[in-house]
Amino acid sequence: MIGSAAAAAAEPAPAPPLAEAVGVSKRFGSTVALADARLTVVPGESHALVGRNGAGKSTLVNILTGIFPPDSGEVRFDGEPAPAPGDRDGWRAKVACVYQKSTIIPELTVAENLFINRQPGTRGVIGWKRMRREAAELLSTWDVQVDPAVPARELNVQDRQFVEIARALSFGARFIILDEPTAQLDKAEIERLFTRMRALEESGVTFLFISHHLQEVYEVCQTVTVFRDARWIATEPVADLPRAALVEAMTGEAADLGRSTGHREPVAAGVRLAVDGLSDGAFEDISLEVRRGEVIGLAGSSASGKIELAETLVGLRKPHTGTATLDGRPLPFGDVRKAMAAGIGFVPRDRHAQGLVPELSVGENATMTISDRLGPLGVITPRRLRSAAAEAIGGLDIKTQGPDQPVNGLSGGNQQKVVMARALAVEPNLLVLINPTAGVDVKSKEALLAIVDEIRERGTSVIIISDELDDLRPCDRVLVFLHGRITAEHAAGWNDHELVASIEGVSS
């Protein structure tokens, strides 16, 4: 005994985990969001947290950042109990999360955002000059090339993320959670983010990386933890867990990853959408046709003009010149309601700002586009709302307590499905989907894209705008945008290399 105790004493104790959640449980009403879940993150690694929509990832992040406490279980940092609830400074010194939805205040400058509520100054007088100088120092320490004097609203998504990371580091935290950080980034920006993550890792920063893009997990993380149905399922070195095994751990079912692009029969039916010479600054002189039942994809970098064109078709923007007709009738530009009445359904790029009304129920959100059809004289009868909503919930496998649950109680991916349900509710002739699978898990992605195949059979034309190659696979053709113009067209059967090369503007 004495000998072994002496030997044990001679060995250096292993460093405690940087962050740890043990036996954590959390309920929301009757929903179990976490059941005896756990996570151990060691210093210096990038650790992925993956799971299907509603698996409990965001709930764990909220607990790990002190936003709310668990019902039971414990969080520790560096082997010490987490700060007391409400001790914001204590938590901020340990951990920060960069969310998809920015916490930066757009009206304030970058410097003000960095030093909000802790402006350098004396006796309450804010030292603006000093604040700017310190902001510049802080940004340069972390190699963030942003002017501290510019209003934050002028930052692109990527620079905003880098500023948020620098702000977190300035509070002393060396554990940064990135919640779906690549969702709004194009390929080049994602590479820049990963390069920055690797550099920060070398300076002693540890990341918890949440993503539904599993290839990113393999690219940037060393360890992965899988949650399923509120429970911890596995923690493994990424290198030891092939993709099929990872998907199996997430879904509980053997993975079927094969989905080919295949050649399709040419679509012979008549023209549904005809666009002629459309320009608006973001895109120039765009002409295209989409036939009944045809599915076309629009690909290109984030500044290529593809999203602006889609937003023009659905009535969110007005073009400077050009025309577009749907089934021979002019499209009502700049008026979403009229566009919907004309037979256009759409999934917008930002479900928070353009998609959902958070206080309303799942049922109300899913059916708000057809409220005039759910009862006489625009009065929605509860029975019809419920049955329309139940259909949407079943059809899209939305994980919810029921149609009456407020939509802001749903996980991010399930909210996205509600947005899809809303678009489908109008039984559109043209469905425009902007990044439709953003935040949607690997299985639900397949279900959403299967719906595209289903509705095309009924003659609905579909335009899919996405940065994800998988989203473009159901398309008959993919049009590539570069600097506001269509520069290439790829028929079904394209290979990834070719398509990526034309998105990047290089020949393959």
Ligand X SMILES: Nc1ncnc2c1ncn2[C@@H]1O[C@H](COP(=O)(O)OP(=O)(O)OP(=O)(O)O)[C@@H](O)[C@H]1O
Residue 478 CB, shortest distance to ligand X, in Å, is: 27
Which segments of 293-386 are extended strands (E)? 295-299, 321-326, 329-330, 344-347
Residue 394 CB, shortest distance to ligand X, in Å, is: 17
Residue 416 CB, shortest distance to ligand X, in Å, is: 8
Find the helix or strand (DSSP H, E) in which 21 lies: strand 19-28
CA distance 38 to 170: 28
Residue placing its CB nearer to ligand X in the complex, 444 or 502? 444
Structure tokens at 177: 């959670």
Which stretches of the chain bind ligand X, using CB under 6 A? 28, 31, 33, 51, 53-59, 399, 409-414, 439
Residue 348 CB, shortest distance to ligand X, in Å, is: 18
Q: SS3 for 156?
A: coil
Residue 441 CB, shortest distance to ligand X, in Å, is: 6
Which amino acid is located at 468 in the chain? E
Residue placing its CB nearer to ligand X in the complex, 435 or 461? 435
Query: Is 480:458 a contact under the CB 8 Å cutoff?
Result: no
Query: Is 264:150 a contact under the CB 8 Å cutoff?
Result: no
Query: Alpha helices of 142-186 — where are they, by DSSP H?
Result: 157-170
CA distance 153 to 69: 32
Phi-psi region of 238 (alpha: psi -120 to 50; beta: other; left: phi over 0): alpha
Residue 82 CB, shortest distance to ligand X, in Å, is: 18
Residue placing its CB nearer to ligand X in the complex, 51 or 300? 51
Residue placing its CB nearer to ligand X in the complex, 305 or 439? 439
Residue placing its CB nearer to ligand X in the complex, 271 or 390? 390
Residue placing its CB nearer to ligand X in the complex, 207 or 481? 207
Residue 72 CB, shortest distance to ligand X, in Å, is: 16
CA distances from 478 to 18, 169, 323, 434, 466 (A): 45, 42, 21, 14, 10
CA distances from 84 to 15, 65, 76, 80, 173 (A): 23, 11, 11, 12, 16
Residue 54 CB, shortest distance to ligand X, in Å, is: 4
Residue placing its CB nearer to ligand X in the complex, 148 or 413? 413
Residue placing its CB nearer to ligand X in the complex, 51 or 474? 51
DSSP state of 271: E
